[in-house]
Structure 1
Amino acid sequence: MTRTANGPVAVLGLGAMGAGLAARLLGQGLQVRVWNRTAERAEPLAEAGAIVAPHPADAVAGTSAAICAVADGEALGAVLRGPDGVLAKGPYPGVLICASTVAPEEVVQIAGDVPRVLDVGMLGNRDHARVGELRLFVGGEQRAFDAGRPLLEMLGKEVVHLGALGSGMRMKLLLNLLMGIEVQALAEATELATACGLDRQLVLKTIAGSGFASPVMAFKSRRLASGRFGEPDFRLRLMAKDLMLASKQAAAVGLSLPLATAAAETHVRATEQGLGDQDCAAVTRVLTPKPEATRDH
């Protein structure tokens, strides 16, 4: 059985999570090859010792594992099966780890007949990625999981094999469903309090310190208090995408999820208003009452 913990490893996609994963692997002494659609994002990693490749196919050459951390299913398909993709020159011999959040059926379809492929739902943020504190939920065949596990244990404090390929995405979608609803609920409560004349900062401090607040609420309350949504921990447009995917999963199995549906609609509307590249807590900006909506008392 091939082990992957000694590298070299390719990381494809250097957004917040991909860059954090690559930095973690470099810090553990592995040889890391990276690719990103926007090459400038690779510069800090190159300075730290990563080899920057011009195309995904070049990045995976000679590696024992490749981690794909791109934004969506379309990007994942291009990275794997595009003209310069991972599979352009034939089967990839290492362990292929799909850490992009896509529909479970989509990761199965894109993977096709790749012999060793895993889908990994990552719970945590870029800081967790850099220090190996992620929680990783994995789908794929047992042999593939056994081969990839040493590498995954380097990246996460918890690694759970859930079952068949697609299972990791199912877990990730339901976790993001909870996050999207929680952050929107926090934003709604805060905007209602403000509109009714309560002190915004005091309300947020009270919620964050209460038994009602999850760690996500306590964390995002600082975003809402500051009103700063740049340098996102998780982009709003990606939350909109994941909430839509979760809603579609529910519809496919005959479930009605009213909260998920409502949250998806709000996040899509926020994206359409130009907030997509801000932190997901910026959903509060579509809740702010317009002057014409206020009433005389």
Structure 2
Amino acid sequence: MTYATKGPVAVLGLGTMGSGLASRLLDQGIQVRVWNRTPERAEPLARAGAFAASRPSEAVEGTSAAICTVADGDALSTVLRGPDGILARGGYPGALICASTVAPDEVVRLAGDAPSVLDVGMLGNRDHARDGELRLFVGGEERVFTAGRPLLEMLAKEVVHLGALGSGMRMKLLLNLLMGIEVQAMAEAAELAAASGLDRKQVLRTIAGSGFASPVMSFKSRRLAAGRFEEPDFRLRLMAKDLMLATEQAAASGLSLPLTAAAAETHVRATEQGFGDEDCAAVTRALTRKPGTDK
């Protein structure tokens, strides 16, 4: 019996992606149990039919799979190994799906001897998550992947098994590395355009319609043109975290990634300037000096 048909599914972490995944499961007739550090995030899902738990261990009671979509390694550690964590009182019998972007080695360490663990790199945005249009890149044992695949395919238009546990995170970091560099490069071009007397919006339209633009650049060009970074698709502080993880992975492998390192530094600086909870396109705010300062 597969994890998609065996019983309810828990979703822990109700940010942009977690909320979308929970909504998708509800729409597909799956019983859903949810948990979030700030309980008010669970209220819309509870009204839609989900059970809102007060702690992670309660959320996974009676479930066949648990999907963790929290922000970082510390949050994932709390959800899995904290006093009220999924694994705090022994093993979890269902499939434990770690879809939080953390260091690949951290997934392996936190999973420990849990019998059925997958790490999943998600490619897509909130709309893709809600509509089952994600692309998922999965690491973990073949038998666990095979059992969990029907559930994953309910959430995505493409599901790829890459290999051992940690592989999903390795792919996700590579993908976010590209996005961080691409969006920053476009933001730099737009800032140079404005400083040179060109019309910023016209330049961004030109970039978006050119052969140089990727789909994500075309999408983010609209945010840069409007200068609106609220209601983020992907928070800037999370991009900063992922770029730093990528540089750490590179250093551990003996590689020098100068573009990644430069993008990481810019995203960290923008986060420190207070823009971390805006969309990642707000990295453009770190490219201009504040009046009266050297920064």
Q: Shorter chain as normaliser: what TM range?
A: over 0.9
Q: How does 1:237-276 map to 2 (within 5 A)?
A: 237-276=237-276
TM-score w.r.t. length of structure 2: 0.98
| Residues 43-63 of structure 1: per-residue CA shift (max 9 Å, x gap) | 110111000001000000000
Partner of 1:207: 207
Change (3 A) 1:237 1:111: same
In structure 2, distance between residues paired with 1:53 and 1:245: 31
Distance of 1:104 and 1:236 partners within structure 2: 21
Q: Deviations over 1:244-273 (max 9, x none)?
A: 000000001111100000000000001110
Paired position in structure 2 for 1:141: 141
For residues 114-159 of structure 1, the C-alpha deviation after alignment (integer angstroms, 9 at most, x for no partner) is: 0000000000001100000000000000111011101000000000
* 1:5 partner SS: helix
Mark the CA change 1:291 to 1:196 in structure 2 (over 3 Å): closer, same or farther. farther
- C-alpha distance in 2, partners of 1:17/1:71? 10
| Structure 1 residue 291, shift from structure 2 partner | 4.9
Q: Could you list the per-position Cα deviations for residues 195-251 of structure 1 after superposition, in whole angstroms to 9, with x for gaps in the alignment?
A: 000011111111111110000100000000111101100000000000000000000
Pairing of 1:140-289 with structure 2 (within 5 A): 140-289=140-289
One-letter amino acid of the structure 2 residue matched with residue 87 of structure 1: L
Over aligned residues, Cα RMSD in angstroms?
Answer: 1.1
Q: After TM superposition, list the pairs within 5 Å mapping 1:26-105 onto structure 2.
A: 26-105=26-105
SS in structure 1 at match of 2:234? coil
Pairs within 5 Å for 1:14-33: 14-33=14-33
Task: Give me the whole-angstrom Cα distance separating, in 2, the residues matched to 1:225 and 1:268.
Answer: 22
Shift of 1:288: 2.2
**How much does 1:87 deviate?**
1.0
Look up the SS of the partner of 2:119 in the other structure.
strand
Partners of 2:95 and 2:78 lie apart in 1 by 18
Rounded Cα–Cα distance in structure 2 between residues aligned with 1:94 and 1:148? 10
Aligned to 2:3: 4
Shift of 1:89: 2.2
Does the residue aligned with 1:277 lie in a helix, a strand or coil? coil
Which residue identity is paired with 1:3?
A: T
SS in 1 for 2:127: helix
CA distance in 1, matches of 2:26, 2:292: 54
Of all paired residues, the percent bearing the same amino acid is 80
* Cα 1:111/1:224, change in 2 over 3 Å: same
In structure 1, the partner of 2:111 is 111
- Name the amino acid aligned to 1:38: T
Aligned pair count?
293
Amino acid at match of 1:62: G
Runs of 4+ in 1 over 6 A off after TM superposition: none
Distance 1:230 1:58 in 2: 33
Q: Indicate the SS of the match to 2:59.
A: helix
Shift of 1:293: 8.7
Q: Distance in 2 between matches of 1:188 and 1:14?
A: 32
* Structure 2 unaligned spans of 5+: none
Structure 2 residue matching 1:30: 3-state secondary structure: coil
